[in-house]
Structure 1
């Protein structure tokens, strides 16, 4: 058999063998743990930045944000003021790891889970009271997603909204969640225009309180997305709900879908 015929035969056999090989199955995407801080071990080093009375309005009460057992505690007093004096803010931002902070980028899907304790003194208001936000880093940027305590027809509720489009993802009564621990599961696909999505799950006492999702929404302003936790509220409330209060957060985890 000459060299040319041997080459043709080898190519034919190789092609036939390749055609009979089974395709390699695609690996299913799964949640990969990226952040699992301990309040006891890490304290406020768990976060990228701390916004504790940044206007120096109530130095006698510092710190307003600190470790409380194996949880993080956020205190708010009626005399506290933010740099914009029509509102109050005690918040932490981002997810810091030993190798640096996590960057949530366009096209990625992230999930944060944690437990929160909302005392009855932390009430819903007629204006904004946010207890979790997704934002672009930098001053003066609008929220992307907000988890808020809001009065609706006089009733106290907790809700999740995509901020810019004022898209309500879900809403449920707040008072049954007062003075007990609630588990939060928040998921976000970071996308511009209509390529983003979110899912919001609350559980209390082992039972699901709400599980709502919204796709086709804008979840990106520019650069990256960064989570925030704490108490951020307007002083324009007309319901008489502003009191000295606090919030506890624990068991914080962040996962990336890869």
Structure 2
């Protein structure tokens, strides 16, 4: 059994008392998600520790100490029923949040690239498709192709991470062991800055801060990589990625995974990521970076947003399969922590 656990130390817990709002992001019309207050103020019962437990040091997890002020979930409703995958996603993330090849008239328009399916493990879920020889990059034929969804400037405010805020992102993910990876990059998740000017003084927004990637390595085989980028230098030159983890890609294939991310968007920010196998709850990856630069903005309008899907290089297209590739996602969730008063 393969298990990789990276543990460093956990950030301090900071919980503020305030009302919690839940934003429901799927189903219904194309209007913005409704807001439903949760009015319960009842404190949960905390059991007394045993004598043995009392002697052990307490370890606070940022995932459990997080107290959501808003939460938006995007879930499939099943094939051939309810709303289309595109409508579900845009109802939550806003129209224009989908960067699928069929959304661009100069791209691969004869096939829908986000479908719905269901199974006995996670139920209804989304399938993202990739076609080596047909898909472009947002309508432009280049050395890369993408089929992604994102939050962006037209999305609801709770979906954007502003300076000083802490957010959680979670989803379920499954990729086939038959998927061929590029020797350059195949990204499945990104945290990207969105800046409203071209000022490079704080890293700019060209390079994603965090990526979950798979890479074909000649010497070691396929790798799962979690990459971190500090962004551009002030002179506009790019910086090299830092690898928070590099490990065996095949250990996560052909299994449904649950992935959780928590990030504090600040110059002295924090980043945490856990990847668990749903079948047996095995914790495969546990990244803890409690003091890391997670802010690229230079104004109060700038923010950080997530992207999911498949974004891969075609520079080594001959190493990729010509067959259609399928990447499965379920239950995207974006939550924002309560702000201390």
Shorter chain as denominator, the TM-score bin is: 0.7 to 0.9
| 1:225 to 2:279 alignment | no
Give yes or no for contact 1:124–1:158 (8 Å, CA) kept in 2: no
Task: Name the structure 1 match of 2:274.
Answer: 201
| Residue range with higher mean Cα deviation, 82-91 or 97-106 | 97-106
Distance 1:68 1:56, change over 3 A: farther
| 1:57 to 2:107 alignment | yes
TM-superposed deviation, 1:132:
0.4
Name the CA distance, whole Å, in 2 between partners of 1:219 and 1:212: 15
Name the CA distance, whole Å, in 2 between partners of 1:97 and 1:73: 24
Q: Which one has a larger percent strand, Structure 1 or Structure 2? A: 1
Name the CA distance, whole Å, in 2 between partners of 1:68 and 1:132: 21
Name the CA distance, whole Å, in 2 between partners of 1:132 and 1:100: 20
Task: Name the structure 1 match of 2:336.
Answer: 256
Name the CA distance, whole Å, in 2 between partners of 1:159 and 1:87: 19
SS at match of 1:136: strand
SS at match of 1:105: coil
SS at match of 1:143: coil
| 1:155 to 2:235 alignment | no
Task: Name the structure 2 match of 1:129.
Answer: 186
Task: Name the structure 2 match of 1:74.
Answer: 128
SS at match of 2:74: coil
Q: 1:209-255 CA deviation, whole Å, 9 max, x = no partner?
A: 11012243322222000100000000113782344311111122222
Distance 1:215 1:238, change over 3 A: farther
TM-superposed deviation, 1:34:
1.3
1:235-250 matched pairs, under 5 angstroms: 235-237=314-316, 240-243=319-322, 244-250=324-330
| Residue range with higher mean Cα deviation, 140-149 or 228-237 | 140-149
Task: Name the structure 2 match of 1:35.
Answer: 72
Aligned residues: 230
Q: 1:112-149 CA deviation, whole Å, 9 max, x = no partner?
A: 11110101232332101100011123798321211100
Task: Name the structure 2 match of 1:90.
Answer: 147
Work out which of the two has the higher radius of gyration on C-alpha atoms and give 1 or 2: 1
Question: Normalising by the residue count of structure 1, what TM-score does the alignment of the two structures yield?
Answer: 0.78
Superposed CA RMSD in Å reads 2.8
1:211-222 matched pairs, under 5 angstroms: 211-222=286-297
Query: Can you give the 5+ residue segments of structure 1 that lack an aligned partner in the other structure?
Result: 1-25
